[in-house]
Structure 1
Amino acid sequence: MAGFNGLALFQRLKHRSRALGQMRRALRLFGPMLGDVLRGRYRPVPWSALLWMLAALAYLFSPLDLIPDVLLLLGLADDVVVVGWLLTRVDRALADYRAWKEGDDAATP
């Protein structure tokens, strides 16, 4: 029987908190990025971020799932995992926009 490994547990929690932070950051930045792209303030258009977000929304609202939603907890869990993974990809795709936005905000008095 394996003993309690506090370090492994801490590392898993740290990794999950980082993923949750990426998802939160992606959701917080996507709207302003879309507005900046539509107003022509930000170029080049981050097509990969748009496609990842479209995939996340399509998966979330599609009746087709890896695990059907009628299996209540498992069906919802697969939505959370898949959409969460896609949002971490959105966050990665927004890295250039995030750097531009931080520079833009610093230049504004």
Structure 2
Amino acid sequence: MTAASATAGRRAGRTAAFATLFRALTRRGRPGEPGPVERFRALPAMAGDAWRGTYPHLGKGRVALFLMALAYLVSPVDLVPEAFLTVFGLGDDAVVAMWLGGALLVEADRYLGWRRTAPVVVDGQAQVDRT
């Protein structure tokens, strides 16, 4: 891999992280669609449904990717580059944090849409959950 292609790859990664977060925060839908706060509040329920296997759209690979990004952000091993590189050392953490935040908000939006339309079986009768 050449230095130019590595730089282009990092730039593409930063652009994708910014774009994902921007779309997640500024998405304007029809009236009644969830906003960023409602999507953020849905994250624990989404994680629980994904853990139990009742939410089929969030696979184990995607959950593992989210957990790896979170581990990267809180890992004390990454503190050494920040101590020496200051702003540049924090740049990689900022890109990962933006991607993780945007990806979680987009996934929460998809989860809330699924939850509105997913049938719930009560006493043998399928009902649609409108909560």
TM-score normalised by the chain length of structure 2: 0.46
Q: Does the 8 A contact of 1:49 with 1:94 survive in 2?
A: no
Q: Does the 8 A contact of 1:36 with 1:42 survive in 2?
A: yes
> What 5-or-longer segments of structure 2 have no aligned partner?
1-17, 28-35, 119-127
User: Is 1:55 matched up with 2:68?
Assistant: yes
Q: In structure 1, what is the equivalent of residue 46 of structure 2? A: 33
Q: In structure 2, what is the equivalent of residue 18 of structure 1? A: 23
Deviation of 1:76 (Å):
2.7
The 1:37/1:85 distance shift into structure 2, 3 A limit, reads: closer
Deviation of 1:88 (Å):
3.4
Deviation of 1:100 (Å):
0.8
The separation in 1 between residues aligned to 2:88 and 2:106, in whole angstroms, is 27
Q: In structure 2, what is the equivalent of residue 108 of structure 1? A: 130
Whose strand fraction is larger, Structure 1's or Structure 2's?
2
1:33-88: CA deviations, max 9, x gaps? 112234554346522331221121111022344x8121333333321112212443
> What 5-or-longer segments of structure 1 have no aligned partner?
1-12
The separation in 2 between residues aligned to 1:56 and 1:21, in whole angstroms, is 23
Secondary structure of 2:55 counterpart = coil
The separation in 1 between residues aligned to 2:70 and 2:104, in whole angstroms, is 12
Q: Does the 8 A contact of 1:52 with 1:89 survive in 2?
A: no
Amino acid at match of 1:77: G
The separation in 2 between residues aligned to 1:29 and 1:86, in whole angstroms, is 15
* Match 2:95 to one of 74, 81, 96: 81
Deviation of 1:98 (Å):
3.6
The 1:45/1:108 distance shift into structure 2, 3 A limit, reads: same
